[in-house]
């Protein structure tokens, strides 16, 4: 479906559902029922763009899959081939940070702008239309070219690899703790104050479904390790460990983690939300020096959820553990 404007830059819009598309009877819980045409109605003229819209699915974001995002990337690629200057992807906020990073890996070079809403349409303070309008403006902005996938909510522009949802309900839920926003939309103008380099290229073949399963296991105080030990029999193709601090686990877990390395790549991330996994500070059993020496792969500054998306995509591309390690190292250097 095309919503055209004379001589206006064309932006592809792909909708997946989420809060921004949710409605229901007055006072009742909402569900994602609104389609792409309903969401973008009236926005093309205000943003000064022409729209090519695709209504892919209407689901809460916990139901969005990597296969769905692969389909989104394919549609964006086709739209680019037909002259679209950028794309906007509309989805729910619960998994928006992971969806945006997956598109950073799978979609053509940006801008691919991911947005959503924290409050449903028709409720006081509903933010969906404003977020979508800002996202359209960023997607069409020449200054955003080459930035890959971006997240735009609350008029702030974030890099997909750093953004996190940090509150369950606040309209200001999305932040980038390690970097801060790249810019903002003010009075309808896109203002970029920082840039990030492109992600490193993926080794092997173009990744596509099915994406291999990767476990994500969190570590906490007095962890007895039974979840880590159980992973060996569950058939995952890889593991991401969300360790404490700079990348640390109790000593009782290091043997089991070493055994997992023999089965597939094990990526070490931090649960703190900002800063990189350390490399050479703590030498005790279970410290980052010990774990890296046992073959765990540092996630660098990527948090565990971003690292899990990256590992699934890398494995789908046929990457070896050595190639996985090289990619994460290159990502940290980018």
- List, by residue number, the catalytic residues: 19
Contact 190, 157 (CB under 8 A): yes
| DSSP secondary structure letter of residue 62 | G
| DSSP secondary structure letter of residue 123 | S
Q: Which tokens is 247 given?
A: 């990348």
End-to-end CA, the chain: 37
Contact 12, 2 (CB under 8 A): no
Beta strands in the chain (DSSP E): 2-3, 10-17, 22-23, 31-32, 50-59, 86-90, 112-115, 149-153, 156-159, 164-165, 174-175, 183-186, 189-192, 214-218, 238-243, 266-270, 297-298
d(CA 265, CA 268): 10
């Amino acid at each position: 479906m095309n919503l055209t404007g004379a001589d206006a830059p064309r932006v592809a819009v792909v909708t997946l559902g989420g809060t921004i598309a949710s409605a229901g009877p007055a006072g009742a819980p909402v569900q994602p029922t609104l389609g792409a045409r309903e969401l973008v109605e009236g926005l093309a003229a205000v943003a000064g763009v022409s729209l090519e819209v695709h209504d892919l699915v209407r689901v809460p974001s916990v139901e969005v899959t990597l296969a769905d995002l692969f389909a989104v990337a394919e549609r964006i690629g086709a739209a680019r081939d037909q002259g679209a200057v950028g794309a906007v992807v509309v989805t729910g906020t619960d998994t928006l940070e992971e969806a945006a990073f997956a598109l950073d890996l799978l979609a053509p070079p940006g801008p691919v702008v991911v947005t959503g809403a924290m409050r449903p349409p028709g409720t006081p303070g509903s933010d969906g239309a404003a977020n979508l309008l800002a996202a359209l403006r960023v997607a069409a902005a020449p200054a955003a070219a080459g930035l890959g996938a971006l997240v735009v909510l609350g008029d702030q522009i974030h890099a997909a690899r750093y953004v996190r949802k940090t509150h369950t309900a606040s309209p200001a839920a999305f932040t980038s703790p390690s970097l801060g926003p790249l810019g903002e939309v003010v009075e309808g103008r896109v203002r970029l104050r920082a840039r990030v380099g492109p992600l490193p290229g993926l080794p092997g073949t173009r990744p596509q479904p099915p994406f291999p399963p990767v476990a994500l296991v969190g570590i906490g105080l007095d962890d007895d390790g039974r979840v880590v030990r159980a992973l060996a029999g569950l058939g995952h193709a890889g593991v991401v460990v969300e360790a404490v601090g700079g990348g640390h686990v109790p000593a009782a877990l290091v043997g089991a983690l070493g055994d997992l390395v023999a089965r597939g790549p094990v990526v070490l991330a931090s649960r703190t939300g900002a800063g990189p996994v350390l490399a050479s500070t703590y030498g005790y059993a279970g410290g980052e020096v010990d774990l890296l020496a046992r073959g765990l792969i540092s996630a660098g500054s990527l948090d565990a959820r971003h690292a899990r998306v990256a590992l699934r995509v890398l494995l789908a591309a046929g990457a070896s553990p050595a190639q996985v390690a090289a990619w994460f190292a290159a990502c940290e250097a980018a």
